[in-house]
Amino acid sequence: MADQLDLRGLDRIERYVMGLGEIAYEPLMNEWEHILQEDNRRSAMAGLDGSGQPLQPVTYRPKPVKRVNYTILRNNNLTSSHYRSLSGPPLAPRGERSRIVTNFRTASAELSDGRWTAIGAWEDVLSVHGVSFLRYHFTGSGNLPVRDLRGIRPNVKVEARRTLREFLLQYFRYLRGK
Amino acid sequence: MREDRNTFPMTIDLDVSEMLARLEDMQARLEGMQARADRLRDTIRIARVELDRLAAAAAARGLDPGEEGPSR
């Protein structure tokens, strides 16, 4: 009669459960930041709003301009003639060099035990006079049409879920191999 | 990232707090199982010692261990 109980299976399960509780989500958050960044760039170039729908086209450009003043004004603003000469998508007249692309920042953090977040936001998109003006486009203030870039687009949600699933599956495989 | 009015934050959130709570619960139950297994192991060890003692006593009386002794 054996006087030893083989508890290796139980030990393995315990290690697995403990491992699941100790998953470091930073790599996933980095990936989500990258997803936000890339989606912002692609959507800006495709002229899409925050829900993935086409933005209302611009009507004031591009227009033939006799003399373009290429002076870069304060806060990286352009002159009217320069804007009129550009053919980029709505809110991105300079294409990938537009501030909705270059001034998009991401970050991520663990808010509390088990609650993580990845954030994307536009920083310092200011008028010559230092006014943060994107809000006027987002809300359609005054005569401006609504061009709201805010929101997590459906494809981002799909991609975030896919990467979460892949991340966890890889982690499960790693834990099982331990 | 600055938290001033120039930003319009959008977030993707992950909440695994419920999973962590359940894992903690599961871990506690596994530890309970481990403790019960340890107690069972002790019981088996004691039983083994007792069986060895009985076998030795039976052998001393000329009985084949595992064989029943003469009825009285």
- Print pLDDT tens along chain B (72 aa): 555 556 788 899 999 999 999 999 999 999 999 899 989 989 999 999 999 999 999 989 887 766 555 655
How far is residue A101 CA from its own chain's centroid? Answer: 10
Q: What is the DSSP letter of A74?
A: G
Size of the A and B interface in Cβ pairs below 8 Å: 112
- Residue A95 tokens read as 């294409």
Q: Which residue of B lies nearest to A30 if distances are taken between CA atoms?
A: B12
What is the value of pTM for the model shown? 0.81
Which residue in A10, A112, A126 is closest to B30 by CB distance?
A10
Which residue in A3, A50, A152 is closest to B48 by CB distance?
A3
Q: What is the DSSP letter of A128?
A: T
- Residue A175 tokens read as 């834990």
What is d(CA A12, CA A33) in angstroms, rounded to the nearest whole number? Answer: 34
Cβ pair A10:B34 closer than 8 A:
yes
Kindly give, in sequence order, each residue whose CB lies less than 8 Å from that of residue A19, ignoring residues fewer than 6 positions away: A171, A175, A178
> What is the reported pLDDT for A129?
96
Evaluate whether A98 touches A88 at the Cβ level (below 8 Å). yes
- Our CA dihedral for A76, A80, A82, A84, rounded to 10 degrees, sits at 130
Looking at per-residue pLDDT, the higher value among A12 and A40 belongs to A40
Is pLDDT of A178 > 90? Answer: no
Per cent of chain A over pLDDT 70 is 98
| Mean pLDDT, rounded, of chain A | 93
Interior/surface letters A40-72, b for 16+ CB within 10 angstroms, e for the rest? bbebbeebbbbeeeebeebeebeeebeeeeeee
Contact with chain A for residue B60, Cβ under 8 A:
no
Closest CA–CA distance from residue B21 to any residue of chain A (Å): 9
What is d(CA B29, CA B36) in angstroms, rounded to the nearest whole number? Answer: 10
What is d(CA A86, CA A33) in angstroms, rounded to the nearest whole number? Answer: 30
Q: Which residue of B lies nearest to A121 if distances are taken between CA atoms?
A: B9
Q: What is the pLDDT of residues A54-110, one digit of tens each?
A: 999 999 999 998 999 999 999 999 999 999 999 999 999 999 999 999 999 999 999
Chain A residues within an 8 Å CB radius of B3: none
Is pLDDT of A26 > 80? Answer: yes
Q: What is the pLDDT of residues A28-42, one digit of tens each?
A: 999 999 999 999 999
Looking at per-residue pLDDT, the higher value among A3 and A139 belongs to A139
